[in-house]
Structure 1
Amino acid sequence: MSRLPPEAFRRLDETPDEAFYRQPRFVTHIDDAAIAAVTTLYREFLPPGGAILDLMSSWVSHLPPEVAYRRVVGLGLNREELAANGRLDAWVVQNLNRDPRLPFGDGEFDGAGLTVSIDYLTRPVEVLRDLGRVLTPGAPVVITFSNRCFPTKAVAIWHALDSAGQRALVAGYLREAGGWQEITSHDRSPGAGHDPLYAVTARAGR
């Protein structure tokens, strides 16, 4: 559980997430320049040839197209979106707000990405704690976010913070989860006229 009060994770729409995400949305949620910034981060941090976990995945993973990975596994909420993602070797449908324990073995992955979805987690510390379990020691996580979201599903504290506060919040989640090293905040915004892009990266403890 987080040290933050329960009201920090309340949402305007508290209906089951499975209902909200039942219909597939074959759209991108940030613009092309921001997507390119995500891909650049993945190129920099995720190890080529490794097993990669795409957490809270959809129909696209934004992984660099020229990089080969041993295995890419997606976990998300919409079966049709996951099935349409040609980059995934396997996928799992799971609501992390209902069950934050990941259905994978210890040290199964060499890196993980979580793209523009951290703001929807109501149990982020639990999810990130278990993410550390399924990564190999020293493996990176890249958590990216912007200023766009489904506002009724983002948690209250997210709405209350500016971009710097959101980066501090995500870094705080990782520190509270424990076992994470090299926690670093990034501003990779592509510039005027484009969606901003922020990230927090870290490595699983050795």
Structure 2
Amino acid sequence: MSSDLPADAFRRMDETPDEAFYAQPRFVTHIDDGAIAAVTELYREYFPAGGDLLDLMSSWVSHLPPEVEYGRVEGLGMNRRELAANPCLSGFAVQNLNEDARLPYPDASFDGCGLCVSVDYLTRPAEVLREVGRVLRPGAPVVITFSNRCFPTKAVRVWHELDDAGHLALVAEFLRQAGNFTDIRTLDRSPRRAGRLSGDPLYAVVGRAADPRRA
């Protein structure tokens, strides 16, 4: 899908530097409690206890299950004050991935990567996810979650033009375009009661890092 997108598919309404937009810390959550619980449950399912994790496009919260102990958790985001306030992080880096897609970590550094409600802001998503595949150990999962909320002026054009099913297909295509993921799955983990949506929806695309020795 992404290979067929027009040249302006990844433009934003606000093309001013992202550093200016994210300069002011936002100590809020961007999805409701039910959706956050769904993210945490996905992390509980996919991230191994004792493993080393990357929280990509991180902030002051990581939504990791509180009862699980991990080896280390590295965060990469845009606001230093938010990252410094995150109690889950062992360390952090401040970086604008739309300007520099290369991650500051060695190959095969992590046992899992979470990217929560931020994929819609990436203007070079396949490049970034290719980097994620590089820094993950073979077989390690990336868990990309999103809802129907966003900062509209910073979300890319194509995100605004698609519905929820389209978003799932698009993000799965990003992983395929990255070229170093296998077992790509799309999931609807929206909280429901009596079969009806009970708050913010929550969707996920999960892939596993391919073994470069078998490429």
TM-score w.r.t. length of structure 1: 0.98
SS at match of 2:58: coil
Cα distance in 1 between the residues matched to 2:148 and 2:40: 18
**Which string of whole-angstrom CA distances, capped at 9 and with x for unpartnered residues, describes residues 141-169 of structure 1?**
00000000000000000000000000000
SS at match of 1:81: helix
Matches within 5 A, 1:179-194: 179-191=180-192, 192-194=197-199
**Which string of whole-angstrom CA distances, capped at 9 and with x for unpartnered residues, describes residues 13-46 of structure 1?**
0000000000000000000000000000000001
SS at match of 1:66: coil
Structure 2: give runs of 5+ residues left out of the alignment: none
Measured on the aligned residues, the alpha-carbon RMSD in Å equals: 1.0
Amino acid paired to 1:85: N
The reply on whether 1:29 has 2:35 as its aligned counterpart is: no
Matches within 5 A, 1:54-69: 54-69=55-70
| Shift in Å, 1:10 | 0.6
Matches within 5 A, 1:1-206: 4-191=5-192, 192-206=197-211
Cα distance in 1 between the residues matched to 2:119 and 2:199: 20
| % identical equivalent positions | 70
Amino acid paired to 2:109: E
Cα distance in 1 between the residues matched to 2:167 and 2:16: 24
Amino acid paired to 2:202: L
SS at match of 1:56: strand
Amino acid paired to 2:199: H
Cα distance in 2 between the residues matched to 1:59 and 1:21: 13
Contact map agreement 1:2 1:123 (CA 8 A) in 2: no
Contact map agreement 1:111 1:135 (CA 8 A) in 2: yes
Cα distance in 1 between the residues matched to 2:132 and 2:201: 26
Cα distance in 2 between the residues matched to 1:195 and 1:6: 31
Q: Return closer, same or farther for 1:3/1:133 CA change in 2, 3 Å cut-off.
A: farther
Aligned residues: 206
Structure 1: give runs of 5+ residues left out of the alignment: none
Cα distance in 2 between the residues matched to 1:145 and 1:3: 23
**Which string of whole-angstrom CA distances, capped at 9 and with x for unpartnered residues, describes residues 54-99 of structure 1?**
0000000000000000000000000000000000000000000000
Task: Write out the 4+ residue segments of structure 1 that deviate beyond 6 Å after TM superposition.
Answer: none
Amino acid paired to 1:53: L
Contact map agreement 1:2 1:125 (CA 8 A) in 2: no
TM-score w.r.t. length of structure 2: 0.94
Cα distance in 2 between the residues matched to 1:53 and 1:139: 11
SS at match of 2:110: coil
